[in-house]
């Protein structure tokens, strides 16, 4: 397990894009005995309409059917993973209230599956699905592989979130200055401009000047939105 985990971590650290991260996940999934895999991530920003990233190597026909039927809204595995981080093994019982969905999935060879979600401190959530067309998951196989599957779900989320954050930061051409960062931190703590001015021994006008610059750099509508975006991007850590 240690060697496998170290190799996986190294590969994910070297993957700097969403596609690169998914290619590493796909390779690890195949090594675990699964033909297909999917990774979905819900980023915490923008808060009014969180960004959703979905990557998979499912048959094209199933991808089209899933989208056209709006299955994302009714998929029992997605519903489970939104509420729980407990692993889920596909079964007739899991899909008892979604028989059409289950029949469609099986018609495209998606018959045996396992899914688990991961959540982070910033409000983002990810879901890893591993599946194949035959050979049900036996108790012995689960005992042998579940630790690796669980590990893959968690490190995949960390790597994918990092890749997305890197891409989002890339949209902001001007980095925050140390003073702008400090002022946003005080704003996050609920301090007013006058209170921040007193704490930092600068004028209120200077505080507001830095807030205005940080808000512009973060492409935010106001101070509150700038603080939220900076926090979500890990700029205040």
Query: What are the pLDDT digits (tens) for 76-126?
Result: 999 999 889 999 999 999 999 999 999 999 999 999 999 999 876 656 789
CA 14 distance to own-chain centroid:
18
State the DSSP code for 136: -
- Here the contacts of 173-177 (C-beta below 8 Å, separation 24 or greater) are 174/217, 175/217, 176/214, 176/217, 176/218, 176/230, 176/235, 177/210, 177/213
**Cα→Cα distances 229→11, 127, 216, Å:** 29, 23, 12
DSSP H or E run through 78: helix 76-83
State the DSSP code for 176: P
Predicted local distance difference test score (pLDDT) of residue 164? 79
Asked if omega into 202 is within 30° of 0 (cis), the reply is no
Judge whether 163 and 16 are in contact, CB under 8 Å: yes
Neighbours of 191 (CB within 10 A): 17
Judge whether 114 and 128 are in contact, CB under 8 Å: no
Say if residue 165's pLDDT is above 90. Answer: no
Q: What is the pTM of this model?
A: 0.76
User: With pLDDT > 90 as the criterion, what percentage of the chain qualifies?
Assistant: 62
Lowest average pLDDT, out of 24-33, 170-179, 188-197, goes to 170-179
More confident residue, 106 or 47: 106
User: With pLDDT > 70 as the criterion, what percentage of the chain qualifies?
Assistant: 92
Neighbours of 144 (CB within 10 A): 12
Neighbours of 127 (CB within 10 A): 25
């Amino acid at each position: 397990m240690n060697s496998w985990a170290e190799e996986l971590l190294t590969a994910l650290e070297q993957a700097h894009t969403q596609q690169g991260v998914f290619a590493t996940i796909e390779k690890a999934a195949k090594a675990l005995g699964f033909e297909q895999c999917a990774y979905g991530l819900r980023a915490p920003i923008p808060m009014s309409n969180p960004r959703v990233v979905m990557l998979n190597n499912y048959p094209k026909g199933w991808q089209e059917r899933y989208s056209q039927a709006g299955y994302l809204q009714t998929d029992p595995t997605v519903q489970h993973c939104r509420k729980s981080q407990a692993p889920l093994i596909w079964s007739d019982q899991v899909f008892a209230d979604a028989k059409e969905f289950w029949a469609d999935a099986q018609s495209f060879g998606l018959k045996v599956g396992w899914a688990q979600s991961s959540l982070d401190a910033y409000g983002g959530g990810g879901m890893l699905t591993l599946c194949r067309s035959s050979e049900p998951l036996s108790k012995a196989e689960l005992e042998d592989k579940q630790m690796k599957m669980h590990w893959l779900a968690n490190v995949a989320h960390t790597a994918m979130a990092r890749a997305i954050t890197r891409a989002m930061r890339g949209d902001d051409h001007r980095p925050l200055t140390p003073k702008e960062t400090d002022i946003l931190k005080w704003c996050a703590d609920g301090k007013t401009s006058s209170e921040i001015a007193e704490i930092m021994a600068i004028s209120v006008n200077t505080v507001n000047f830095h807030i205005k610059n940080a808000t512009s750099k973060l492409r935010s509508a106001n101070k509150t939105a700038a603080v939220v975006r900076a926090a979500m991007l890990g700029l205040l850590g």
